[in-house]
Structure 1
């Protein structure tokens, strides 16, 4: 039984799984990286599969199903039910290959279609972000342990900062920035975009390009636990378990508040004509 006095919570287990996976990833990162191309054209390395195997092994004690990116790519999709984990063992494989440090381990717990717990760990820096029903916090992983833990919360500014590059983003992004009076770009790779919003470094993350559920679930959980919102362009919270859509997400906007997310979603609808 998870969560009884003296036993690890689901969040504890997920944090431990992420730390184990980060060690596996760093082992590969510190030597020549062999890259292959998946059927969808995206790159994958030995670190992706090895990290997912380590995560699934650690999560197995919960008895909950695990929806993992590499497992799905191999045709392994478990019966999910109403409560399950969503795992991206190495989000930002391109960043991993470039060795720029902007890649993460993502582990989320989904209940009834909503991510209620998330862990995002950047192996290269050791930065970790966690969100669950008790709130959101950040820290650093040093020699396998979390240190410098502190609560985080979204922060609102008169002119929001955006985690997207105007020069490399969707054609509509520049207009969105003008309409919402965006102050500046604070761009970063992988699910760290959600984490920058969660700790108040930025306020807006519009997504005009495709993502899958394992790309966003952990980051969404962290951001929502910190007081933010992630909405699809119809203004509804982004939901999970879309097996009939191959777990693809619609376009969405993440923001430091629901009102800002709604404003972003409305402008995105107008710009893309939907």
Structure 2
């Protein structure tokens, strides 16, 4: 299983009866799984089911999920508001005792505000539950599509990461092959440094001289850092091949890479080794930037 990116986009359309909708999901990198929903009013109750569904497809990332809903309506049946009609007819009878009126027409009475009204069909509980289930099912399709998009992006991302790790290995082996890292070169530098130390402080005791020599030898030897870098390269490749979410472990590993590269630069006794160390740091920074997108 390749690495999975936390970056992706998906869309799923659905319909039921006269209702039409579409889901849009967008994902970017994040420390955990953080989901923000944009739902039409009245549909907040389905959010827990949506979160559970998304959790089946993603472990990390900042996800924005929006639902656009269009519930087209048929022409609602009309009904007479009996209370409003009674009030209108009562008013007409009252006026006839006061003024001479022509008989009112039925259409005129029905045209009065409030007498004729639409009878909206009410959605029962079963219909509401079926509609919400259809929305959740459609969201599941969008979540699966998002997972696929993230996996596709992850395959591309893994190629880039492997190239960075290959370059880190190349530079590390170049440092290991440098003449200044050889035992003979380190022995010559140590001998010169001890001679310089004795010239500056001829009265140094043998014990103090041994301590200073050990310290100088430690500072001059970069073979331990090179060995650790090679080990980290192998560990990174193991994580690529593990088939498990590796983003956090790769992020930690890049910190270890960077620590060894810094130490290599600080110990470098030659301009060429310093240059290699700086190139290493540049590649490691690129690796770490890309690792931030790995789930």
Classify the TM-score, shorter chain.
Answer: under 0.3
Q: TM-score, normalised by structure 2?
A: 0.18
Pick the structure with more helix per residue.
2
Greater strand proportion: 1
Greater Rg by CA? 2
